[in-house]
Amino acid sequence: MIEEEKKARCLNAYREYMQDCRSAEAPGRIEFLGNHIDYNGGKVLGAAINGTVCTLARPRKEQTIRLFSESFENEVVETSLNDLSSRKGPGSWANYPLGVLWSLKEAGLAPPSGFELILTTDLPLAAGLSSSAAVELATALALLQLGGHELGKSDLARLCRRAENEFVGLPCGILDQGVSAYGEKDHLVLIDCEKENFSTLPLPKHTCLWIFDTGIKHDLIDSLYATRHSECAQALELLKKREPALPCLAAASEGLLTSANLPAPLSKRALHVVEETARVDRAIELLKDDVSPKKIGELLFASHASSRDLFENSCPELDFLVDDLRGRPSVLGARLTGGGFGGAVLAWTDHEFSRTEAKATATAFRKTFGNNPKIHRFEASRGARITDPLEKPNNRFPES
Ligand code: GLA
């Protein structure tokens, strides 16, 4: 009885301490199909996963902001509401939450005073699962609450993308933020990036999402991502000389590409975008028709070949994994997922695919490259949401 009273007293004290705190959670994502299509205006398919970033925010009376995460550098980053400059080197992880704050300020939705923000995550980092978008959405949802504001999912995704484009400096599309916002259990998120329309489609039953992380860190910001983005913009510019009304690269026809005779490597980049767009459109039809997943899986393999040969954002490690997985009967499809130039391979499998088989792929990889890829299995899961800070902390960890 005494124990019960003690517990109740502790809980009350805790509730009182936490009463001004606000919290949120946002998932990472797997890019299912549509490589480098989002910023080219086509359609993309992704799944939100059961690996998330959780935020806890507490208002302060003064203007000071304190950001802390043991998952990212384990150091406090301190600044003020009036000093939102981006950082280089140590503390640069904070550019994502600071960028969101900047974006909120631009939209007139910033919290009225300073705050403390704590972030935790069970997402594997730098594995091409977009922990950055998860940080952005979880930060935005927590900070919006401090200011008493609300945003719909599409505005939330756009606000976070703006943070990444204009504050962090990465010209990414809407894929990561859109999937993290719209994720739904057992569903794929479909984004029409030109119209910025978001919807969901059921993921075929009895199929599983596996990630093989090569451990090769793809430093998106100063890497070839921006080069690919600019190559696509140059290709569009040249095509518009022939077809001025062309709205985006993904809308170009193969006939236009042939007649425009673009110089290399722009011709290859454009061909990848046009063919990958057709593959996503085909996958959407097949998903709606409920056909054999094998047919959809073939599109994933074809997507990888195109990233390797035309978009040239693969690497030998990713190619090796895809080739090995292709030889396994339970694997429906496999491809690099995300920006590329390292990172991870998605293997979409039927439910017969086992950890033993996954380990066999890892062993073959180690024999060739000397290290083991990290293996994770994820479920297609719900999207970003406001949580109750008094709720039991989320203790789901992906298998590794
Ligand atoms: C990264 C970007 C996305 C998208 C993918 C490639 O994940 O953040 O916007 O461009 O690469 O499809």
Let me know whether 192 and 216 are in one domain: no
pLDDT of the residue at 12: 86
Let me know whether 50 and 197 are in one domain: yes
Which of 203, 224, 248 delimits the end of a domain?
203
Let me know whether 124 and 253 are in one domain: no
pLDDT of the residue at 15: 82
pLDDT along the chain (400 residues), means of 10: 83 85 97 98 98 96 93 87 90 94 98 97 89 97 97 98 95 97 98 97 97 81 83 98 98 97 98 98 95 96 98 96 98 96 95 97 98 96 94 45
Let me know whether 258 and 190 are in one domain: no
Let me know whether 212 and 163 are in one domain: no
CA–CA separation, 46 and 176 (whole Å): 8
Distance of alpha carbon 74 from its chain centroid, rounded?
22
Let me know whether 156 and 141 are in one domain: yes
Sign, Cα dihedral of 202, 206, 212, 213: positive
Let me know whether 133 and 58 are in one domain: yes
Let me know whether 197 and 211 are in one domain: no
How many domains are there within the chain? Answer: 2
Let me know whether 75 and 196 are in one domain: yes
Let me know whether 248 and 310 are in one domain: yes
Domain that holds residue 353: 207-378
Mutate to test the pocket of ligand 1, among 44, 172, 223 (most ligand atoms within 8 A of CB): 172
Burial of 319 (0-12, 13-18, 19+ CB in 10 A): middle
pLDDT of the residue at 1: 62
Q: Closest residue (by CA) to atom 8 of ligand 1? A: 172
Judge whether 7 lies within some domain: no
Let me know whether 143 and 245 are in one domain: no
CATH number for position 300: 3.30.70.890
Catalytic residue (one of 122, 155, 176, 192): 176
Let me know whether 38 and 163 are in one domain: yes
CATH number for position 180: 3.30.230.10
**Does residue 7 contact residue 364 with C-beta atoms inside 8 Å?**
no
Q: Is 38 a catalytic residue?
A: no
Residue 313 Cα distances to 234, 333, 342, 363, 395, angstroms: 18, 18, 8, 24, 35
| Ligand 1 pocket, residue 338 CB under 6 Å | yes
Global pTM exceeds 0.85: yes
Which of 152, 175, 203 delimits the end of a domain?
203
